[in-house]
A and B are shown apart, each in its own frame.
Chain A
Amino acid sequence: MRALPFLAAAGATLAASVALAGPPKLVISGANFQPYPLAVAPLSPLPGAGEAATEIYQTLANDLAVSGLFDPNVLDPKGYLADPHEPMTVDGIHFQRWTDVGAEGLVKGQVRIAGGEAVADFYLFDVLAREQQIHKSYAAPVAGARRLAHRFADDLVQYFTQEPGPFESEIAFVKDVGRQTKEIFVSDWDGANQRQITHGGQLNLLPSWAPDGRGVGYTSYRLGHPDLWETFLPSLQAKVISTRGDLETGIAFSPDGRRIAFAMAQEDNDQIYELDLAGGAAKRMTDSYGIDASPTWSPDGKQLAFVSQREGSPQIYVMNADGSSPRRLTYQGNYNQTPRWSPRGDLIAFTARDERAVFDLFTVNVQTGQVQRITQDQGQNSDPSWSPNGRLLVFVSTRTGKSELWVTTPDGNSQHPITHGGGYSMPAWGPSYRK
């Protein structure tokens, strides 16, 4: 008998239902996913608020476009002629016009300046039901008006996905600021509002956020050799965490913020160590002949993933947080590195060099070991870091000829640059928190 899975299932269900004398039932499973058709009308400025309205609108539209959740064809304002005088009320909106351009959701808003602050009112309408779903009103200093857009973008993501949005979070990254000088910077998630947080004039590398977002750890040569440091925000006060080994890199804070894992070289043997930030000696977690480096915590803090050369080529391994039961996770490729565990816990993103000697981003399923490619045939791509909700990744790409930061969805279908000018590397996406 040839296999007819869904047919057999449908038939069986139908028969069972008939036997119970109720209406017959057919089961239809496996929905196809598609972006939600959301239109965003340019925000209406009250007198004096034109510049702020434009900035907020562009920031909001970019957030939603990069999210990968919404249909870019409907988001694109070139697809429709919005009436700037259309009111913000259900009774005044010409819903049929929005239906005609394929929108099922509609965002409208108004911006005004009051008391030196930009005040934005945002509305979300259900075009098909002709109902208002959300009304939010926010205020911020005019200079930080774009923050209002991030906040409402997070509200939209929360509304549609029942998950927190990532747009109020920040990223840390390394930027070339001079000859042989790399400093740590922090910016909004979209690369705007960049602030330099280290000023050592040396090499400062591999930033990693403390889980409360109040500090960034990194490796710095400011004392002449690579040690672990942390700079606290917003004070920018810096302190050394560890100066123990010959080479200390890859600091990773545990999810509870009490411990760090890092790679430390002693007598030319890199191994993974763990350190209680309250004090005490560093505890060695791995013991192999090959190099072990780049630790990353599972979101529950019970496991660590890391890179090891113990079987010849660099591969991704997973072990318990106490160092027990290490197991190899990747068997494809011969140069896998920079693992980053997803906040959802199911995937680990990493950089791998493929058979064409090109570095690209991949994910590996922690349970099944299945590897999926994110980037392909677009320059060198490396150093992925997850957004706090696990729906986006920031990474480094040279596809434009310069080293820039890009953001992608984990399936690689929506990729956008967030920096320009070159010299960017080693991004780390910070935790989600509201300022």
Chain B
Amino acid sequence: MTAEAAFADMAPPRPPAFPLGASVVVSALLHVGLVGALLFGTSIFHPAPLLQPQTIHVKLARIGTPRDKRLLPRRPDEPSSRAAAPIPLSASHAVEVASTHHPKLTAKQSKSPEDQLRNALAKLKQQVDDQTGDPNGFQTGTDDVTEGDLYNARVVDRIRRFYQVPNTISQAECAKLTADVEISLAADGTILDQKTQASSGNRLFDRAIEDAVKKCRALPAPPPAVAQQWRDGVVLEFVCGKM
């Protein structure tokens, strides 16, 4: 050992080759890289999610068989004790999910991400079918109607919710009753004005349809193409019976 080396051993320690800040940055970069590698690896070794549109056919099957037509009918309003009994509805019984890849799936079989996605879609479909629907939607769909027709139907749909007449009006008289009410709308759907154009001759019926319009308060905002038409006035012809 030289005297210089011995002296060096006795000297105070040198400062580190890299400053502390640089070490922290390097460490952070290494962690980011490690996490990225893990994520990338996961995507390699697992199937990619379904990104392309693929039709999944969902069929709802109600448990049981239709009532024998030779039997006398039952009333829909079963006693509360019976009505409260839950209808068994499980993925394996009530919802049959069918596709070209998976003719029939059960809860136990659906473990892969693809299966989970299919199951989730099936459940979503079931939930949608169980609901009464979007208050502004239509059961039969809207894929082949114009914007104006669509709006008209939305107006009819909304007013019909409030279209209630007293049952003191007999079915026979109801079949004869019609009345016209003209309304005008603001651009936001607010009913600006309503007036009876043609009375039915039945005071209770006339009042019922006036109430139906009033209870709406506002209708959906008309699309620009028909907004002026609705501002100028549209006649609502109320027919008591079914057409």
Contact = CB atoms under 8 A, between A and B. Distances in A.
A77 interface: no
Given A24-B234, A26-B236, A28-B159, A352 B72 contact: yes
B95 interface: no
Given A1-B144, A3-B140, A26-B155, A161 B229 contact: no
A308 B3 CA distance: 135
A32 B243 contact: no
A381 to B, nearest CB: 12
Given A4-B145, A11-B149, A371-B73, A31 B236 contact: no
A7 B138 contact: yes
B243 A9 contact: yes
Interface stretch (A33-41, A178-186, A245-253, A281-289): A33-41
Which of B146, B152, B166 lies at the interface centre, i.e. has the most chain A CB atoms within 10 A of its CB?
A: B166
A71 to B, nearest CB: 9
Contacts of A362: 72-73
Interface string B154-182: 01100110011111111001100000101
Nearest to A32: B164
A30 B177 CA distance: 11
Contact of A7 (B153, B159, B163): B153
Contacts of B73: 332, 362, 371-373
Contacts of B33: none
A332 B148 contact: no
Contact of B170 (A3, A35, A163): A163
A352 B71 CA distance: 11
Contacts of B204: 36, 160
Contacts of A13: 237
A412 B167 CA distance: 15
A17 interface: yes
Interface string A4-26: 10111111011001000011111
Contacts of A68: 167
Contact of A34 (B69, B165, B235): B165
B175 to A, nearest CB: 11
A331 B70 contact: yes
A412 B204 CA distance: 25
Contacts of B150: 7
Given A32-B164, A412-B75, A14 B148 contact: yes
Interface residues of B, number: 54
A112 B19 CA distance: 110
B195 to A, nearest CB: 11
Given A31-B240, A161-B169, A355-B72, A26 B232 contact: no
A373 B75 CA distance: 6
Contact of A333 (B71, B146, B207): B71
Contacts of B237: 13, 25-28
Interface in B214-235: 229, 232-235
Nearest to B68: A355
A26 B235 contact: yes
B166 to A, nearest CB: 4
A377 interface: yes
A69 interface: yes
B167 A354 contact: no
B229 A24 contact: yes
Contact of A33 (B71, B74, B82, B166): B166
A325 interface: no
Contacts of A30: 160, 163, 239, 241-243
24 contacts: A4-B140, A4-B141, A11-B149, A14-B152, A23-B232, A24-B234, A25-B234, A25-B236, A26-B155, A28-B159, A28-B163, A28-B236, A28-B237, A31-B241, A32-B163, A33-B167, A34-B164, A34-B165, A162-B173, A332-B70, A333-B71, A372-B73, A373-B72, A373-B74
| CB-based closest 8 A-B pairs | A160-B168, A36-B166, A29-B239, A7-B153, A11-B149, A33-B167, A25-B235, A29-B243
Interface of A: 1-4, 6-11, 13-14, 17, 22-36, 68-70, 128, 157, 160-163, 331-333, 352, 354-355, 360, 362, 371-373, 376-377, 412
